[in-house]
Structure 1
Amino acid sequence: MPKTLKSLLKFICFLGIGLLLIWLVTKDLTTKEQEDIKNAFRHANYWLVIPAMALGVASHWLRAVRWRLLMKPLGHQPHTLNTFFAVMVGYLANLAIPRLGEVTRCGILARYEKIPADKLVGTMIAERAVDLLCLMLLMVMTVLLQIDIVGTFFADRIWHPIQLKLAGAGTAQWILVIAILLAGLLLLVLLLRRFARTKAAIAIRTLAKGVLEGILSIGKMKQKGWFLFHTAAIWLLYFSQIYIGFYCLQETAGLGIKAGMSVLAFGSIGMIVTQGGIGAYQILVQQTLVLYGIHATIGYAFGWIIWLAQTLLVVLLGFISLIALPLYNKSTPTTSAAEH
């Protein structure tokens, strides 16, 4: 299957899932509920979206700075602006095709800063692993601090469905999956040994070595404290966007820190599940806010307001970065080994 066609099918599939979720939520809304959602949008304080988006810009900038810290042990220190541009173009690409952004941002930085792409992929994997760990810690903290409110929601909507899926796979299916994985790994090893001196095998080994080196860069950092600081700051900024967003609607203005933690934790899952979070994010935010006494229609409207603000920011900064990259690098020498 051609790569372009495969990418197009992925885009249609994930976008379709998101649109299906939106339809499932809205198809049975009564006239009054539809009017409630419209009223929420009409009376929202959109001026507060501006500081929330400013915090979003800061979080993206810190992500670029943090990614740059992972490259330092590898002997590379790209321009911070180039790193930021690459991150934003990557986010923009993710709106089109899931996970395309990770490859895109590595490719852009490799092009403009002359850093080996395989090492960049490794640092990206390490960075994503840290963020996944942060999300898991946030989820655990959210559930433990609000076991009476969030515990049941987490068990019914997330944990139990996962258990059912795992239980649905019988012993024979698990054995088959493990056997296929082991057979694939064994076949790969045998092929690499059999064709060890071919250009393809050498290229694969070189790529694997570069990726591994990038992943291990997190352990070689001399500035681990700064890395942890930036990581904490990024997630604090994410939370701050949600918290400020509460004041956009009169009905959510009274919500506190714990509600913000819940929206951030469960909403983040929605951003992973579908194309850019469309559909899933709004539903999870809606269901989360219902736990705090917010009417479902208001929760749904709030989910849309936050999602639109975040998505608009990514689109705006993504296209600006696409335009700025060649202009900035035309006038700025790219010396990845120099401090900037």
Structure 2
Amino acid sequence: MKLTLKQWIQVFLSFGVAIWIFWFLYKDISQEALLEGLRETSGFWLGLSILISIIGFWLRAWRWKLLIQVGESDSIPTKRVLLALMIGYLANLLVPRAGEIARCGALKKTEGIQIGKLFGTVILERTIDLIFLVSTISIAFLIEKDLFLSLLSDLVSLETLGDRISSALPLLLGGALVASIFIYLVFQKYRDHGLFQKFQHFIRDIIKGFISLKQVRNQFGFWSSSVLIWAIYYLTMYFVALAIPSTASLSAGSVLMVMVMGSIGMIAPVQGGIGTFHALVAFILMAYGLTNEEGKIFAVIVHGSQVLTVIVLGTIASAVFLKLSAKKEPKSS
């Protein structure tokens, strides 16, 4: 995948931001403290966390295969889809959001599937994941409602929040009306512009994708795998929590909150969520009574173990892909 000069600048800027956030977070944490935290970490629980995350990668590849096979007569080997997926994860560590393009390109090369269809399935997959993330946040709020309200009260006075909203309601409604009129006029004037047409096509593709979900042959497998993928995300975090003495006593609901904050941190447009993941995870762990140092050590262990897993599996997948490409193997059935 070739990048333009502008794209390279964006890559280095995002990488620089990630490194700066990471440095700012860990500049006061000594190397001895990090090494001590690693020595105290249970290899059994950490290994179990890595193992179940690998199962999660396979499950995600299998679910993606179900989407790809809609309307196709031939079956696609899950192992080929997994190779493309891991190449995509590895690309995301180098260039933010490049993984989606990389995995589609890899699968097109090995299986000959149109890249437009592959990219459409990725958009649909990401949309479904977003729905599950919002649902998980809602569940975490119900379970840890007191903590949510406590954190909110630290930022905003709940006693005066209602009065402020009531007093500002006419202004908010008026602003919403003006904004709606403005958006409508802009749309009417520029609806034939290329940017608006691309946006319309994007929305249309998402709608078509959701309609095509009815054509997935294994409905139970698709939706149950979607639930299991997020359950595995949770178990990956929970096993690491058990591996570290300072977090071993966290409740199931607390770990769910940590997973939610980590997931939000991974959305940031930086390589592999570096910095943003660590900041949000450490922040929520401090709310549960851990020290600043303990929260940051947990974040670097759970994130580092996953990044190393992706690097190893992604490198192996890339080597296998290059071998397959060199041999120019025909499409498997």
| TM-score of Structure 1 vs Structure 2, range by shorter chain | 0.7 to 0.9
Structure 1 residue 52, shift from structure 2 partner? 1.0
* Distance 1:74-1:298 versus aligned 2 partners, 3 A rule: same
Among 53, 73, 84, the alignment partner of 2:50 is 53
Aligned 8 A contact 1:53 1:313 in 2: yes
Q: Specify the alignment match of 1:319 in structure 2.
A: 315
SS in 2 for 1:186: coil
1:259 counterpart (248, 254, 262): 254
RMSD of equivalent CA atoms: 3.3
Deviation at 1:185, TM superposition (A): 3.0
Q: CA deviation at 1:77?
A: 2.8
Q: Distance in 2 between matches of 1:18 and 1:4?
A: 21
Equivalent position of 2:241 in the other structure: 246
Q: Deviations over 1:120-156 (max 9, x none)?
A: 1111111111101000000011011111013443687
Structure 2 counterpart of 1:280, one-letter code: T
Paired position in structure 2 for 1:64: 61
Cα distance in 1, alignment partners of residues 283 and 195 from structure 2 = 47
Distance 2:314 2:122 in 1: 18
What is the rounded CA distance, in whole Å, between the counterparts of 2:105 and 2:206 in structure 1?
Answer: 14
Q: Closer, same or farther in 2 for the Cα pair 1:155/1:80, shift >3 Å? A: farther
Separation in 1, partners of 2:124, 2:65: 12
Question: Which residue is 1:73 aligned to?
Answer: 70
Equivalent in the alignment of 1:199: none
**Pairwise mapping of residues 57-136 of structure 1 onto structure 2 (< 5 A)?**
57-75=54-72, 76-136=74-134
1:20 aligns with 2:20: yes
Identify the range of structure 1 (216-225 vs 7-16) with the bigger mean alpha-carbon deviation.
216-225
Q: 8 Å contact 1:243–1:260 — kept in the other structure?
A: yes
Contact between 2:45 and 2:239, CA under 8 Å: does it hold in 1? yes
Partner of 1:195: none
- Matched with 2:7 is 7
Map 1:137-286 → 2, pairs under 5 A: 137-153=135-151, 180=186, 183-188=189-194, 216-273=211-268, 274-286=270-282
Q: Structure 2 vs 1, CA of residues 62 and 176 (structure 1 numbering), >3 Å: closer, same or farther?
A: same
Q: TM-score, normalised by structure 2?
A: 0.82
Task: Decide whether the 8 Å contact of 1:267 with 1:284 is kept in 2.
Answer: yes
* C-alpha distance in 1 between matches for 2:191 and 2:153: 35
Aligned counterparts of 2:139 and 2:87: Cα–Cα separation in 1: 32
Percent identical across equivalent pairs?
29
Deviation at 1:248, TM superposition (A): 2.1
Alignment TM-score, normalising by the size of structure 1: 0.80
Q: For the residues of structure 2 that align with 1:40 and 1:324, how far apart are their CA atoms?
A: 35
Deviation of 1:22 (Å): 2.0
- Does the 8 Å CA contact 2:101/2:119 hold for their aligned counterparts? yes
Structure 2 CA distance, aligned partners of 1:121 and 1:8?
A: 22
Aligned residue identity for 2:301: I
Cα deviation for residue 49 of structure 1 reads 2.0
Counterpart amino acid of 2:271?
Q
1:275-310 CA-to-partner distances (Å, cap 9, x unmatched) read: 211011111111111122111210100000000011
TM superposition shift of 1:183: 4.1
In the alignment, is the contact (CA less than 8 A) between 1:142 and 1:150 conserved in 2?
Answer: no
Give the deviation of 1:56 after TM superposition: 1.1
Query: Is it true that 1:292 corresponds to 2:292 in the alignment?
Result: no
Q: Which amino acid aligns with 1:39?
A: E
Per the TM alignment, residue 46 of structure 1 is displaced from its structure 2 partner at its CA by 3.6
For 2:161, the equivalent position in structure 1 comes to: none
CA contact (8 A) 1:74 1:214 kept: no
Q: CA deviation at 1:14?
A: 1.5
